[in-house]
Structure 1
Amino acid sequence: MKFKPLFLYAEQETGKDILGNPIKEFVQIEESEGLFSSWTSKEIALDVREITIHNRKILTPCSKELLEQAEKVKFEDKYHSINEIKGDDTNRWRIIVVNRYGSESL
């Protein structure tokens, strides 16, 4: 298995505008590693919500606490929205379910 760099991003307040409204931007909160994982035949057979068509899984050792803080990940030069986090810190790996295609920018 060859892991690739994985960057976690969260929306944070970075300042205020002239009217005092918060200015929010996506800020990198952590760097880790990960790899795309395949859906199993059992997951595909049980899928009635078409999750396997519109999403992908990324396997990562990053802690669940950090993953819960993040809203997006940058993986293989594309930004993906996090839809679901599977697993907890008692296991070696966590799986994050992300949108399938991602975007080039935040």
Structure 2
Amino acid sequence: MNDISSVLKRKKRNKDIRQLCNILHDKYYIDKSKVARAMKLPVQYYYDFVADTRDLLYPNLIKIESFIFDLYDPLLEYEMERNNIHLDPLDDDSDNQISLNI
């Protein structure tokens, strides 16, 4: 896969996971700081992600995705259908991206 396509897929996944996080926070009153701390992420780092001022590389994006789906899968499945959000399967190269130190 070429680099541009890979970047576009990652940006779309950032957008989709961000939208799901914001649904949890805004509609279901899930506390952002508690979510960040539970994932052992700096609170500001997570706030920047959900505020759309920071895109994440796959390791941290997958960490957030896995965490929220582990806890809220039925709710998120409902919201994905309701909000027309489709998460594409991850490519093998997504695991090879280097995680930024935060």
TM-score of the aligned structures, taking structure 2 as reference length: 0.22
Q: Greater helix percent: which structure? A: 2
Greater relative contact order (CA < 8 Å, ≥ 6 in sequence): 2
